[in-house]
């Protein structure tokens, strides 16, 4: 409650109580129950030393530590303990959602642009009303202002649901309801005990009566107060603690007394920041996020703000509109004079008919374009929140589960002081290592999303090893978390996209080692793994946002229509606006290009430009929270040792190492010393990784260009198949326009001014009505197509995620026992024991089968339906290969067939897919054995991946029965297989469920008659220029239709499409790296000659290795 309300807004206006951090913890005037009653004095001091946003996490750790203690004592079963743990996780996840809501407001650039357009529209409307309403013009003017500004203010009032301003959510009342309901549950659990005690005492005295109240926030005329109404009276119970008695007693202080006490405490403490305004607090919470003014005159002053707006980006567009506005007026004066009253009186002035038709379509396109961008922006924020939750929950779990036995728990020995100290040192070192690895994990994720793709604002091409060492925009820096130069060199040899997977594999190897030793139970180990999985899933979501720009074809078509619409509009305005035609022309350019610019900014949520998601700030917050949790856990261990008479714990090696890690993370890394110790790092320190360059270039090739004059040059940028496909329609519409004008002149003369004067000219009413409907239908189809395309990207991401998780599980869980673990068999010489060799063979076989599984899915979605690609790049994805291997494709198939079969050669026989697989990497020609080819030849393409999944499950089940893989890990492999098959089903649904033919046929029919009859409307006013609006209309409508069609099948060979070849190559290379990382031992229990100690502290029977 305090994190989302009081720490952001303080107390309600008019409350004199100090709302600084100390006041909120010690008094908490508007809390029911308040922290002043719930916390002891010692706890208040402890929580004041912790970041406000981390206090909820610390409480969860304490609760989980209590539950884990009772689980070890046998007071609560394992399933019950972990149900409680999951509920606590749910609370923290909900808290993160609340934070996301209050910290992810509508981008300032968008609100500023809307505010500007709203101001111009509302306060120019009176000049329209005065013609018809005359002296009554103020009435419609006020109604328009109330309507538009009223809606805007309603939206602003509900944007922050956790403020003090209504409408808001009553967190005080919710907190009291939670407390009273929980209290009643606890009272019910001891009802029998209370009854026995009451019988022994006789009748209860009146002093033992306590009351349960209803509590809610009541907004008075000037201040918000807490309303309290007695609801029922209950007797005292053994379930009541000291805080309950203080809260329920009839002698408790009222609200006024609580506020007076808080004011007195603040005065004694020397004042506070209680006078700080809510706006100031909000700015302090998000210093980089500007907001619209709250002042009464803000709607005027805000439109003149320039900093952090999109004004700077649309200056060229507005200047061009300004010039064309003047040019249109001068041409009109030169050609027809200054007395033109109607558009038909001058051949260089246009009637608004064509623009009214195209304008509705353009408005839908721009709105949907911004919606796509904002959806990506918010999805990225949600994914970062899940990543934060995963890392935090992992560290809470590590601190709660990975510890030595405490008093009363199995394995605890009060007399074994030396052993207790050794065990604490080892557990402390292990937790510190896991903390370090979790910091590295976030750092590598940050690199993938930002630095490796964009570099730095002042250095766009940083070296790969420079990022690993300096990491000047990281907090904490990756270089500060590196152990030594050898570790830097090790990670520099791993592809940057696979470093996060390598770190997770290391983490899982450590956790699995402790599970086999019995230090953590199966459920705890598995929950820690699931948190790592959540982090990787969040990374995949963020990667999808980064690597799935709004298709180039959609943006180019939208910009085509916007350009012609905007810069032909001045020839309409010049009739009525005359010498100020430039003014509406500039406003129109600002409106359309301004909203487009806002969309361009927010669809890149991890770029350096605001509004963006501050990965550095998120990383620093996650690190600080985890360090504080680990430090409190270390203090708890010190308290355990103090029971053995050990008092010098703070000076011991593990505590010093932990504090040294925290200190290093807060300082820049010593790059010079690291480089001095490694000649290899110095050699190519500034060399950028080739894969990062390829990824950046490949993304840039699929994005619409973004520079000062891209609104003009981008219209002719790239190779857009959509534009080529609409050339026939544009040419036909232009030809019909020329014929329509010739027919009008031939039959009715050149002086036709109204459509009713000639039999071959049409009125605008029918086209105006139908144009809006058809435009909406076309944009709606394009929206559906984009959603299908994005859903396909998400589904393929799930396939990748499932296969990646399976390979991490094979590397972490499916391995032979190492020294110190139950079932370990020492190797004789250089040969592995038979069991270890068998496990290694199964691990490699499962890795191969995961590649085969994706290859079968790829073929079912693409090659079996569209065949191979004509282009020689089909094998290499974005890299390309020579022409030799694919030359026969161009000789055998005519290029014209490519469009028919989605850019491919057409369906390929099932036997050819097994024998050749020309577009696969890795290809089935190398993955399958001859025996497997024969076996799969009898299986339909649509069922081969199911057979492969069954084969994976058979190998996993065999290892599980033999004890090489514990039950939960084996079950999770099954769940990941289920994830992969479910994602494939989504992909299959997308490609087999097109928009119904009847709908497509009807749209085509209506579109044809609409577009090619429009020239008969335009010829009245456009005369000889009729082919121009006719061609633009055809380009806009048919262009949008073709854009939608191009995205309907995301698994063909025509862009935009999902590059299944590149994804398969990434799965294969990452699986190899994950396997290599899993073969190394990373636990301090498995290194440094500590096996004896590790064996001594194994307290419970392991469940990992029971080989028959």
Average pLDDT of the residues in 962-987: 92
156 has a pLDDT exceeding 50 = yes
How many angstroms separate the CA atoms of 477 and 459, rounded? 17
How many angstroms separate the CA atoms of 78 and 522, rounded? 9
**Residue from 255, 196, 687 nearest 466 by CA:** 687
Q: 217 falls in which pLDDT band (50, 70, 90)? A: low
Q: What is the pLDDT of residue 1098?
A: 43
Residues sharing a CB contact under 8 Å with residue 282, sequence separation 6 or more, in sequence order: 8, 9, 291
DSSP lists the bridge partners of residue 459 as 456
Furthest C-alpha separation in the chain: 115
Per DSSP, which regions of 855-902 are E strands?
none
**Omega prior to 922 cis, within 30 of 0:** yes
Residues sharing a CB contact under 8 Å with residue 51, sequence separation 6 or more, in sequence order: 621, 624, 625, 628
Neighbours of 620 (CB within 10 A): 17
pLDDT digits 0-9 by tens, 350-373: 878 778 778 878 888 888 889 899
Average pLDDT of the residues in 325-348: 84
* The length of the chain, given as a count of residues: 1108
How many angstroms separate the CA atoms of 1023 and 1018, rounded? 8
Contact criterion met (CB below 8 Å) for 248 and 212: yes
Region of residue 828 (left: phi > 0; alpha: psi -120 to 50; beta: else): beta
How many angstroms separate the CA atoms of 844 and 1044, rounded? 43
Q: 708 falls in which pLDDT band (50, 70, 90)? A: confident
Q: 61 falls in which pLDDT band (50, 70, 90)? A: very high
Contact criterion met (CB below 8 Å) for 1073 and 498: yes
Region of residue 75 (left: phi > 0; alpha: psi -120 to 50; beta: else): alpha
308 has a pLDDT exceeding 50 = yes
pLDDT digits 0-9 by tens, 361-416: 888 888 888 989 999 999 999 999 999 999 999 999 999 999 888 878 888 777 77
Secondary structure class of 977 (helix, strand, coil) = helix
pLDDT higher at 281 or 138: 138
**Residue for token digits 């008919």?**
353
Q: What is the pLDDT of residue 1087?
A: 54
- For residue 867, give both structure tokens: 């065949």
Return the exposure string of 309-325: e unless at least 16 CB atoms fall within 10 Å of the residue's CB, then b: bbbebbeebbebbbebb
725 has a pLDDT exceeding 80 = yes
Q: What is the pLDDT of residue 1035?
A: 87
964 has a pLDDT exceeding 80 = yes
Angle at 1021 between CA 1016 and CA 1023, to 5 degrees: 75
pTM equals 0.88
- For residue 54, give both structure tokens: 């981390």
From 109-113, 701-705, 803-807, 1052-1056, the region with the lowest mean pLDDT: 701-705
Q: 232 falls in which pLDDT band (50, 70, 90)? A: low
210 has a pLDDT exceeding 90 = no
DSSP string over 604-661: -TTSSSSS---HHHHHHHHHHHHHHHHHHHHHHHHHHHHTTT---GGGSHHHHHHHHH
644 has a pLDDT exceeding 80 = no
Q: What is the pLDDT of residue 822?
A: 81
């Amino acid at each position: 409650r305090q994190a989302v309300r009081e720490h952001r807004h303080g107390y309600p206006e008019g409350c004199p109580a100090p709302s600084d951090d100390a006041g909120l913890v010690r008094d908490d005037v508007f809390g029911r129950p308040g922290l002043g009653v719930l916390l002891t004095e010692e706890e208040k001091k402890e929580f004041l030393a912790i970041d406000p946003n981390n206090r909820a996490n610390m409480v969860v750790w304490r609760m989980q530590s209590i539950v884990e203690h009772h689980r070890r004592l046998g007071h609560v079963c394992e399933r019950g303990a972990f149900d409680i743990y999951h509920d606590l996780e749910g609370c923290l996840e909900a808290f993160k959602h609340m934070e996301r809501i209050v910290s992810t407001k509508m981008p300032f650039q968008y609100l500023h642009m809307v505010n500007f357009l709203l101001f111009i529209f509302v306060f120019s409307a009176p000049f329209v009303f005065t013609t018809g309403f005359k002296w009554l013009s103020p009435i419609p003017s006020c109604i328009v202002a109330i309507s538009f500004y009223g809606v805007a203010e309603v939206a602003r009032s509900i944007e922050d649901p956790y403020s003090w301003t209504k409408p808001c959510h009553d967190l005080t009342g919710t907190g009291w309801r939670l407390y009273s309901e929980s209290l009643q549950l606890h009272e019910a659990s001891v009802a029998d005990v209370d009854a026995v005690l009451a019988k022994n005492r006789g009748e209860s005295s009146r002093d033992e009566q306590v009351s349960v109240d209803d509590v809610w926030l009541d907004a008075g005329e000037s201040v918000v107060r807490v309303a309290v109404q007695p609801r029922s009276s209950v007797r005292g119970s053994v379930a009541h603690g000291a805080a309950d008695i203080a809260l329920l007693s009839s002698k408790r202080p009222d609200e006024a007394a609580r506020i007076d006490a808080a004011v007195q405490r603040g005065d004694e403490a020397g004042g506070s920041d209680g006078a700080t305004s809510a706006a100031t607090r909000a700015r302090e919470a998000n210093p980089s996020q500007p907001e619209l003014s709250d002042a009464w005159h803000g709607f005027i002053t805000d439109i003149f703000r320039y900093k952090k707006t999109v004004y700077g980006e649309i200056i060229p567009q507005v200047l061009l509109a300004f010039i064309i506005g003047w040019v249109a007026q001068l041409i009109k004066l030169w050609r027809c004079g200054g007395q033109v009253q109607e558009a038909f009186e001058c051949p260089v002035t246009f009637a608004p008919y064509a623009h009214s038709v195209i304008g509705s379509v353009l408005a839908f396109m721009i709105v949907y374009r911004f919606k796509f961008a904002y959806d990506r922006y918010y999805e990225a924020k949600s994914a970062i929140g899940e990543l934060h939750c995963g890392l935090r929950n992992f560290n809470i779990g590590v601190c709660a589960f990975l510890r030595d036995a405490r008093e009363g728990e199995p394995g605890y020995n009060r007399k074994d002081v030396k052993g207790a100290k050794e065990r604490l040192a080892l557990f402390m070192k292990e937790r510190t290592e896991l903390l370090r690895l979790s910091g590295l994990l976030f750092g590598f994720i940050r690199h993938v999303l930002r630095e490796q793709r964009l570099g730095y604002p002042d250095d766009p091409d940083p070296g790969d090893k420079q990022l690993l060492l300096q990491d000047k925009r990281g907090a904490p820096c990756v270089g500060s978390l590196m152990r030594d130069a050898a570790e830097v060199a090790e990670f520099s040899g791993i592809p940057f996209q696979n470093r996060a997977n390598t770190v997770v594999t290391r983490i899982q190897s450590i956790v699995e080692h402790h599970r086999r030793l019995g230090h953590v139970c199966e459920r705890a180990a598995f929950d820690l793994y699931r948190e790592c999985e959540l982090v990787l899933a969040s990374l995949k979501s963020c990667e999808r946002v980064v690597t799935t720009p709004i298709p180039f074809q959609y943006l180019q078509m939208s910009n085509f229509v916007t350009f012609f619409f905007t810069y032909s509009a001045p020839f309409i305005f010049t009739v009525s606006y005359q010498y100020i035609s430039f003014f509406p022309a500039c406003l129109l350019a600002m409106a359309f290009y301004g909203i487009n610019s806002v969309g361009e900014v927010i669809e890149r949520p991890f770029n350096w430009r605001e509004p963006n998601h501050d990965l550095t700030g998120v990383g620093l917050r996650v690190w600080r929270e985890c360090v504080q949790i680990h430090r409190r856990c270390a203090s708890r261990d010190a308290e355990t040792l103090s029971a053995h008479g050990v008092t010098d714990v703070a000076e011991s090696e593990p505590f010093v190492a932990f504090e040294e890690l925290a200190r290093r993370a807060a300082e820049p890394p010593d790059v010079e010393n690291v480089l001095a110790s490694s000649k290899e790092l110095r050699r190519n320190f500034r060399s950028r990784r080739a894969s990062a360059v390829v990824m950046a270039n490949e993304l840039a090739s699929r994005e619409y260009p973004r520079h000062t004059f891209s609104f003009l040059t981008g219209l002719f940028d790239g190779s857009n198949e959509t534009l080529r496909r609409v050339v026939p329609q544009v040419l036909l519409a232009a030809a019909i326009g020329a014929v329509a004008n010739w027919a009008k002149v031939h039959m009715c003369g050149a002086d036709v001014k109204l459509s009713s004067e000639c039999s071959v000219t049409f009125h605008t009413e029918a086209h105006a009505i139908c144009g809006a409907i058809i435009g909406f239908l076309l944009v709606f189809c394009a929206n559906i197509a984009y959603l299908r395309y994005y859903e396909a990207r998400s589904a393929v991401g799930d396939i990748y995620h499932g296969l990646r998780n399976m390979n991490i599980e094979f590397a972490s869980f499916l391995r032979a026992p190492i020294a110190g673990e139950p079932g370990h068999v020492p190797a004789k010489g250089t040969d592995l024991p038979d069991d270890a060799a068998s496990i290694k063979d199964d691990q490699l076989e499962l890795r191969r089968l995961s590649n085969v599984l994706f290859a079968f899915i790829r073929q079912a979605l693409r090659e079996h339906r569209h065949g191979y690609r004509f282009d020689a790049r089909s094998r290499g994805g974005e890299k390309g290969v020579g022409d030799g291997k694919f030359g026969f494709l161009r000789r055998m198939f005519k290029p014209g067939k490519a469009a028919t079969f989605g850019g491919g050669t057409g369906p390929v026989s099932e036997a050819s897919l097994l024998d050749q697989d020309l577009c696969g990497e890795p290809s089935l020609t190398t993955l399958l054995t001859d025996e497997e080819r024969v076996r799969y030849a009898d299986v339909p393409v649509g069922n081969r991946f199911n057979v492969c999944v069954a084969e994976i499950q058979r190998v996993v089940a065999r290892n599980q029965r033999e004890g090489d893989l514990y039950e939960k890990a084996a079950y999770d492999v099954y769940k990941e297989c289920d994830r992969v098959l479910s994602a494939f089903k989504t992909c299959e649904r997308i490609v087999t469920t097109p928009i119904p033919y009847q709908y497509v046929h009807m749209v085509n029919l209506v579109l044809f008659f609409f577009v090619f009859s429009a020239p008969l409307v335009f010829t009245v006013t456009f005369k000889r220029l009729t082919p121009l609006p006719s061609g633009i209309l055809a380009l806009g409508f048919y262009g949008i239709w073709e854009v939608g069609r191009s995205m309907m099948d995301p698994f063909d060979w025509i862009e935009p499409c999902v590059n299944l070849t590149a994804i398969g190559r990434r799965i294969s290379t990452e699986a190899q790296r994950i396997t290599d990382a899993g073969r190394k031992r990373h636990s301090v229990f498995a290194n440094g000659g500590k096996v004896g100690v590790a064996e001594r502290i194994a307290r419970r029977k392991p469940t990992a290795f029971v080989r028959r």
